[in-house]
Structure 1
Amino acid sequence: MQLACNLARPFGPDDDVPQLLTAELNLHAPAGARWGHNKVKAWLADVVVPAMDAHMLGEIDPAGEMLGWLSDIELMLAPPQVA
């Protein structure tokens, strides 16, 4: 997904993406329309994450950690099996 901002480097696994985006977006935002950290996190969750596909997820998480976390959460939320 291409953003209307230009970050100087690609995101790394330990980068705080909302912090990086907040700083970049606020360089260009009018004074009355600054982006806050929580607003950027909400935008990422509401707009960017749903637009991701398996290929994109694989690019940012080649070790499959996030998929593993989601699988663990799915198991924790599943109703107990009655024998």
Structure 2
Amino acid sequence: MIYGTGQSTVVPYVYFNVLTGKGEVGRMSVMVENDGSGDAGSKAEVSINFSKVGDMPMAFDWTADKDKPIAEIESPTVLYDIVEE
């Protein structure tokens, strides 16, 4: 996504702890606050905010869920509309 507005900025995500394999899966919106525009050779300053959208995230366990598609882990009310597109 280069530019997006509304529902096009809502994406699925999976977050988990590498040591325990426990985490969550859900939907979030991506908001770029500062795109790092500047002079060539200068340091990039990028600021991005992620916000939970919709239902509460579902539990994720890497050891049990790693081979499943996100649509099978996530509740249908959370990701169904994204998976269908």
Give your verdict on TM over 0.5: no
Asked which structure has the greater CA Rg, the reply is 1
Q: Which has the higher strand share?
A: 2
Query: Which bracket does the TM-score occupy, shorter chain normalised?
Result: under 0.3
Q: Which has the higher helix share?
A: 1
Q: TM-score under structure 1 normalisation?
A: 0.22
Considering Cα pairs closer than 8 Å and 6+ residues apart, tell me whether 1 or 2 has the greater RCO: 2
